[in-house]
Amino acid sequence: MQKPARALSEVIKNLLKKPVTVLYPFVRTKIQDKFRGKIVCEADKCIGCRLCMKDCPAGAITITQVAMPATLAPVVPAPQPAADGAAPAAPKPAPRKFICEIDLGCCIYCAQCVDSCPRKALSSSQEFELAGTVRKNLASRYEPTAEEKK
């Protein structure tokens, strides 16, 4: 007899309380700073180490190198003797750039890739409304900016 009485008092108490839920999507709560939403990539920062690919438990990331035009292939100029006898300038290879593709259909939003990236190129955004009916729309592709690609 004690249990139903306790349950009844709980019901009455909760009838008078404000609900803890909100009428989403009409009412939105604040998203916490450390929320792990859609993973985004700043491709210009990527150095192509592929640690993110290695550590991703879902195999959701693919990093590919941007094909460089022949004019931008690493150039090794013949050493020229400097007029003043100084050592010739070291050859400077053209910077390599990478494309990052993330399949959000596979991603489990663990943010391991964010922790693994040594260049802070990956981050968790607060975007979470990612549902869709077309699977290929869940693929995100991040390329270096046109200026950086040159």
Report the interface residues with ligand SF4, using CB under 6 A.
39, 41, 46-52, 56-58, 60-61, 63, 98, 100, 102, 107-113, 116-117, 119, 121-122
Nearer to ligand SF4, 49 or 72 (CB): 49
Nearer to ligand SF4, 9 or 65 (CB): 65
CB of 46 to ligand SF4, least distance (A): 3
- DSSP-assigned beta bridge partners for residue 101: 62, 141
Cα of 76 vs its chain's centroid, Å: 35
Nearer to ligand SF4, 35 or 109 (CB): 109
From the number of C-beta atoms within 10 Å of its C-beta (0-12, 13-18, 19+), residue 35 rates as middle
Q: Taking the CB of residue 100, how many other CB atoms lie within 10 A of it?
A: 27
